[in-house]
Chains A and B, each alone.
Chain A
């Protein structure tokens, strides 16, 4: 019997944590909690820079938006930041409607988001 993959996968890119979400994952309450907990664990490191890729994610709800805001605030408190990337046009519209595109820096691709952090660190 195959195990369900973790809801998020974290890889390190020159000190930037790149987080990818398992496609079709964040639908159910338990998964939203797991998703939020995984991101909050990253925020325990002061100054952590995090890129969250939405590649393959076709659906989200206000529960997920709430988790993202929570993580954003926690990271900001310790000098870190959450940036978003690879957002499907339908999902992007949700961010725009809720004005969260003002709260988060959103990039077309995850590589661009990671590069933005690295460029700022080198400047």
Chain B
């Protein structure tokens, strides 16, 4: 499996956790990240956005990446600084092409029950990038809105 270790930043180091592929542990995993936001005074909008995006990323990693295989793990790394929140989620699956996910907002796809997770991540975070063949996502949320909007 390719390795994509988070870069280091002296003042605000990354915290990395290895999670079992179990959906019931997601709320607990979120708590650590959200507590860090709260400690640095991020507002409710940031809290909601990060929680939603993180949950979508973890569910995707477990369900679509690891296919709920209990022998596989999910690596979650996060760094909360005063000006930005970085989150990386990596699964042990085969990866995927995020460009291949159909737009769920078109008329023909509006009633499809799936395909909205990535869209929500992109909507609520300022940057969402996939690497390592599509099985790692790196999301950034800035405290202040950036010019240029969402990542491609």
- Taking CB atoms and an 8 Å cut-off, the chain B residues in 8-41 that contact chain A are 23-24, 26-27
Are A97's CB and B51's CB within 8 A? no
Q: Which residues of B contact A66 (CB under 8 A)?
A: 113-114, 116
Q: Which residues of A contact B27 (CB under 8 A)?
A: 27-28
The 8 A CB mask of A82-114 against B (1 = contact, 0 = none) is: 000000001000100111101100000000000
Are B123's CB and A29's CB within 8 A? no
Q: Which residues of B contact A63 (CB under 8 A)?
A: 59
Are A97's CB and B23's CB within 8 A? no
Distance (Å) between the CB of B28 and the closest chain A CB? 11
Complex-state Cα separation, A99 to B105, whole angstroms: 6
Given contacts A28-B23, A29-B23, A90-B48, contact A98 B113 (CB under 8 A): no
A17 at the interface (CB under 8 A from B): no
Distance (Å) between the CB of B79 and the closest chain A CB? 23
B77 at the interface (CB under 8 A from A): no
Given contacts A27-B27, A28-B27, A30-B24, contact A97 B113 (CB under 8 A): no
- A72: nearest residue on chain B (CB-CB)? B111
- Taking CB atoms and an 8 Å cut-off, the chain A residues in 63-83 that contact chain B are 63, 65-67, 69-70, 72-73
Are A62's CB and B24's CB within 8 A? no
A116 at the interface (CB under 8 A from B): no
A59 at the interface (CB under 8 A from B): yes
Given contacts A28-B26, A61-B56, contact A98 B104 (CB under 8 A): yes
Q: Which residues of A contact B114 (CB under 8 A)?
A: 62, 66
Complex-state Cα separation, A4 to B23, whole angstroms: 20
Distance (Å) between the CB of A41 and the closest chain B CB? 18
Are A99's CB and B56's CB within 8 A? no
Q: Which residues of A contact B55 (CB under 8 A)?
A: 61
**Which A residues lie at the B interface, using CB under 8 A?**
27-30, 59, 61-63, 65-67, 69-70, 72-73, 90, 94, 97-100, 102-103
**Which B residues lie at the A interface, using CB under 8 A?**
23-24, 26-27, 44-45, 48, 51-52, 55-56, 59, 104-105, 110-114, 116-117, 119-120, 123
Give the 3 A-B CB pairs with smallest separation, nearest first.
A66-B113, A29-B23, A99-B105
